[in-house]
Amino acid sequence: MSFISVDKISKQFLIPKKKQGFWGSVQALFSTRHESKMAVNQISFAIERGEMIGFIGPNGAGKSTTIKMLTGILVPTSGEIKVNGKIPIKHREEMAADIGVVFGQRTQLWWDLPLIESFQLLRYIYKIPALQFHKNLAFLTDLLDVGEFMNTPVRQLSLGQRMRADLLAALLHNPSVLFLDEPTIGLDAIAKERIRELLVSINKEKHVTVLLTTHDMIDIEKTCNRMIIIDKGNKVYDGGIDEIRANYGRTRTLVVDFKQFPHLPAIDGVTSVSQNGLRFEIQFEKNKISASQLVSLISKHNDLMDLTVQEPEIEAIIKEIYNNPAIKKAGRSHETAI
């Protein structure tokens, strides 16, 4: 059995609907009409222990609702979830001891207390034995580099420092799975890169399974090998990042530095050409012509200094998936066995 198994889960919300104006408010006191909204629609996937998964989609796609069902905060309308053999909603206390959660704009730290006192309070909340607590605290303090502000009140920490402290708090009780919701939101480029490196280190050193939701595609590329994309409550893709590039990125860019101004013949499959001095960027459709064929045709007429093939950006591919119904339909066939 997979470490995390999600089998055809759905979540439907009933939203109160009332007429506008004073009399609409009066009528709502005696009878309330509701309309239903399907936030998550029969999603299935499986995650093995130690995987790092990017869980992405536009706002309102159902990401947060799915995470809340995985952590036992929400009850699925239908379907089944198991995390490390436990059903989240039925085993919430046991689950709390086995998971770590970090939300980018929320903290589990006490705002006016020095950071070390927050960790000591969490020790009692999670009932961590003293020896294990001090061992974990020393290891994570070194790994996350929080020692220099351990005695600083949380409210005085920078956002990047607080995110590192929140990661330590989430890992203090040795969870087997870590749920991260926008852990790099609001951080500068240097702080983002540090958090990404820390997540990879945590996964490697502690073998923690990580499910990461983010709007920053670089977070996914730097940390994860697999990506699950949902849109409007439906899963539209589940597979590797390399696989998504190979299957869905229709165009590539050949960047060529010429010795002198080139003669470029008309080539079927080339969609655009731009230049900056003797450097040319030639965009082509991979299904019509390969990079090696394109280079061969160009080099027949010109002397080349250097060349590279640029892969498409993940963000551009995801937009392509969102905007192309045929690709979405194909993406739903990427089912992972439970």
Six-digit token pair at 246? Answer: 């190979």
Domain termination site, one of 217, 245, 273: 245
* Residues 66-91: b if buried by 16+ CB within 10 A, e if exposed: bbbbbbbebebbebebbbbebebeeb
Taking the C-alpha atoms of residue 92 and residue 78, their distance in angstroms, rounded to an integer, is 18
Judged by phi (left if over 0) then psi (alpha if -120 to 50, else beta), residue 50 lies in: left
Same domain, 197 and 235: yes
Give a yes or no: residue 338 inside a domain: no
Residue 130 and residue 187 share a domain: yes
In a domain, 332, yes or no: no
- 186 within 8 A of 217, measured Cβ to Cβ: no
Residues 148 and 270 in one domain: no
Question: At which of 227, 245, 263 does a domain end?
Answer: 245
Q: Please check whether residues 187 and 263 belong to one and the same domain.
A: no
What distance, in Å, lies between the first and last C-alpha atoms of the chain?
7
- Co-location of 205 and 74 in the same domain: yes
Domain final position from 192, 219, 245: 245
- Specify if 319 maps to a domain: no
Give the count of domains, the chain.
Answer: 2
Amino acid 51: pLDDT:
95
Domain of 160: which CATH number? 3.40.50.300
Q: Is residue 321 part of a domain?
A: no
pLDDT at 336: 40
Residue 21 located in a structural domain: yes
Per-residue pLDDT, 335: 44
Of the candidates 230, 242, 251, the residue with the CA atom closest to the CA atom of residue 321: 230
Are 153 and 64 members of one domain? yes
Same domain, 305 and 194: no
Spatial separation of the C-alpha atoms in residues 55 and 76, rounded to whole Å: 18
pLDDT at 190: 84
Task: Please report, in tens digits, the pLDDT of each residue of the chain (338 residues total).
Answer: 789 999 999 999 877 676 676 666 666 666 667 678 899 999 999 999 999 999 988 888 888 899 999 999 899 999 999 999 999 989 888 888 889 998 867 788 999 999 999 999 999 999 999 999 999 999 999 988 899 999 999 999 998 899 899 999 999 999 999 999 888 887 888 888 888 998 999 899 889 999 999 888 888 888 999 999 998 899 988 988 888 877 777 888 999 999 999 999 899 999 999 999 999 999 998 889 999 999 999 998 899 999 998 877 777 777 777 776 555 554 444 444 33
* Lateral strand order in the sheet of 304-310: 270-276, 279-285, 251-258, 304-310
Residues 157, 306, single domain; the answer is no
Distance CA 146, CA 215 (A): 26
Which letter does DSSP use for residue 86 in this model?
Answer: B
C-alpha dist (Å) from residue 295 to 74, 254, 255, 284: 55, 8, 10, 11
Residues 272 and 205 grouped into a single domain: no
301 and 201, same structural domain?
A: no
Q: Residue 305 falls within a domain, yes or no?
A: yes
- Quick check: is 145 in a domain? yes
Q: Are residues 54 and 198 in the same domain?
A: yes
pTM of the model: 0.77
Residue 293 in any domain: the answer is yes
Residues 223 and 306 in one domain: no
Residue 307 domain boundaries: 250-311
Q: CA nearest 250: which of 326, 193, 183?
A: 326
What are the two backbone dihedrals, phi and then psi, of residue 223, each rounded to the nearest 5 degrees?
-120, -30
